[in-house]
Every structure is written in structure tokens, then in C-alpha cells.
């Protein structure tokens, strides 16, 4: 709710709810669902080793593991 994480995301993939781009509105509900079960990030972590390979890749929602 405070948007402190927005500028910290190296992939620029985090938005305040009012700023979510058109075509990505469905992710608001998904984020709310996942945020209820995942712990909050309270400390900076290094990106996963393959993060650059996934950056900007479209149509990867089917790869999400819950």
C-alpha cells in the first residue's frame, strides 16, 4: 500500500494499483491472492540466476507455480 517497493523492482514490474497498465488489470486479483500466502519481503535479495532470461518475456503466466 505504501509503494516503497515500486522503485526497488529491477524489472519495473510493480505498480501502485491505480497505475497498473491497461491489459494487466487481471493481475491485481492474482497479486491479492498470492500476497495472502507468501511472506512479505523485508530484506533485499539477489535476483534469481535466470532473471534476465525472463525479463520482458510475454505470456509466462502459465509458468507460475503456486
Tens of pLDDT, residue by residue over 16-55, are 989 999 999 999 999 999 999 999 888 888 989 999 999 9
What number does CATH give the domain 6-38+46-63? 3.30.70.20
Tens of pLDDT, residue by residue over 53-65, are 999 999 999 999 8
Task: Name 16's Cβ contacts closer than 8 Å, sequence gap at least 6.
Answer: 3, 6
Q: Give yes or no for residue 1 having a pLDDT over 70.
A: no
User: How many of the other CB atoms lie within 10 Å of CB of 6?
Assistant: 13
**What predicted TM-score, i.e. pTM, was given to this entire model?**
0.72
Task: Name 17's Cβ contacts closer than 8 Å, sequence gap at least 6.
Answer: 28
Amino acid at each position: 500500500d505504501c509503494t516503497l517497493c515500486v522503485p526497488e523492482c529491477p524489472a519495473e514490474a510493480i505498480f501502485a494499483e491505480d497505475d497498473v497498465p491497461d491489459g494487466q488489470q487481471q493481475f491485481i486479483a492474482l497479486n491479492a491472492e498470492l500476497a495472502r500466502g507468501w511472506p512479505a519481503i523485508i530484506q533485499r535479495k539477489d535476483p534469481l540466476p535466470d532473471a534476465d532470461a525472463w525479463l520482458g518475456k510475454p505470456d509466462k503466466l502459465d509458468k507460475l507455480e503456486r
